[in-house]
A = this chain, B = another copy of it.
Amino acid sequence: MEGEKRSLNSELWHACAGPLVSLPTIGSQVVYFPQGHSEQVTALTKKEADAHIPNYSNLPSQLICQLHNVTLHAEAETDEVYCQMILQPVNAQEKSSYLLPDLGRQNKQCNEYFCKTLTASDTSTHGGFSIPRRAAEKVFPPLDFSQQPPAQELVARDLHDNEWHFRHIYRGQPRRHLLTTGWSVFVSAKRLQAGDSVLFIRDENGQLLLGIRRANRIQPSMPSSLLSSDSMHIGILAAAAHAYNTSSRFAIFYNPRASPSEFVVPISKYNKAVYTMQFSIGMRFRMQFETEDSSSRRYTGTITGIGDLDPVRWPNSYWRSLKVGWDESASGERQKRVSLWEIEPFTTPFLFCSPALTLRTKRPRTPGAEQAMINGK
């Protein structure tokens, strides 16, 4: 395949991707949604797939796949994180990992870490970078306070393994930690602006790593000249259909910060939502979102409808099959449709004893249930 570049540092990648992004375990089974993959292209090219696209009647709306490999990458130009996944549609007879608990998703938490949103002063050419006190004490090597002023040279590596050198000094009245020499080179090289965030990590070997998260997610530097967006959408569907028909491997790219929702879902997470939970109109739920300061919080809402997002092209699909309303007024940002496995209902999930029994009797009457059966369960 085309993953000749080796995977990047996982801790740093996840720190840049944000707190809500977790990737399925290599070797596990996942559910892949061509529909969601298409949405990622729409989000990146800002071109809707139109009606000219042929119908791949063979292709189910969800494919159960073996996840053979995941490699972590970052865009050379912008440092935007993405990953490549090698998937292989599986004959669903071998439902080996059926309803396994949701263990082992790749999301190493890192404590020796800090993230700061850059101020106007941080990014101006007039001065350096003001380090929050606790951050400096937590992740940077301790200064020798016998020197006047205390100062040291820091070396940090970014996602591309480039080294960045900074002078770290503790001075001013009152005293504060600053990055001076080297900081402006970094800011201009990465084209950082006020509002973007930088994050520093000390890894297990004591090495410093640094990454960035841009406030302005919209990168209009689109590869317009390469392929028409129609051909991209067709390419996604045709590649998935071909892999499905021949049970062969195929590669996809997942861009967590550009994609509206994850379209490769651990099968356990999918099954738990589809087979053990009840959803009905009027039901209350919570859902996690990333906040402006890169932490996560839950918003609450109500299910207002259940049905197909695209009844013509993708009938009986679970992808975004719930229409929802949000409690808070400024909800223009949040999607009007979500998938079952993205939300946490307030009601206690149904607890089952025998999987086989439960599946037969308790499968809810949500769209796509029969389709899911055909697709091998």
A231 on the B face (CB < 8 A)? yes
Q: Across the interface, which residues of B come within 8 angstroms of A227, CB to CB?
A: 41, 227, 232, 235-236, 253
Q: Across the interface, which residues of B come within 8 angstroms of A156, CB to CB?
A: none
* Size of A's binding interface in residues, CB under 8 A: 45
Q: Knowing A228-B251, A228-B252 are in contact, say whether A242-B76 is a contact too (CB < 8 A).
A: no
- For residue A359, give the distance in angstroms from its CB to the closest CB of chain B: 34
Contacting residues of chain A (51-81) with chain B, CB-CB under 8 angstroms: 52-54, 73, 75-77, 80
Q: How far is the CA of A235 from the CA of B76 in the complex (A)?
A: 24
The 4 closest A-B CB pairs, nearest first, are: A235-B235, A223-B223, A82-B225, A238-B238
User: What is the chain B residue whose CB lies nearest that of A255?
Assistant: B225
Q: How far is the CA of A238 from the CA of B235 in the complex (A)?
A: 7
21 A–B pairs (Cβ distance < 8 Å), ordered by A: A2-B47, A2-B229, A44-B225, A52-B250, A54-B246, A73-B224, A75-B224, A75-B225, A82-B224, A84-B228, A223-B226, A225-B258, A226-B232, A226-B253, A226-B255, A228-B239, A230-B251, A231-B238, A231-B251, A234-B234, A235-B238
Binding site for B on A (CB under 8 A): 2, 41, 44-45, 47, 52-54, 73, 75-77, 80, 82, 84, 220-239, 242, 246, 248-253, 255, 258
Q: Across the interface, which residues of B come within 8 angstroms of A47, CB to CB?
A: 2
Q: Is the CB of A253 within 8 A of B234?
A: no
- For residue A103, give the distance in angstroms from its CB to the closest CB of chain B: 28
Q: Is the CB of A239 within 8 A of B250?
A: no
Q: Knowing A75-B224, A226-B44, A242-B54 are in contact, say whether A234-B235 is a contact too (CB < 8 A).
A: yes
Q: Across the interface, which residues of B come within 8 angstroms of A41, CB to CB?
A: 226-227
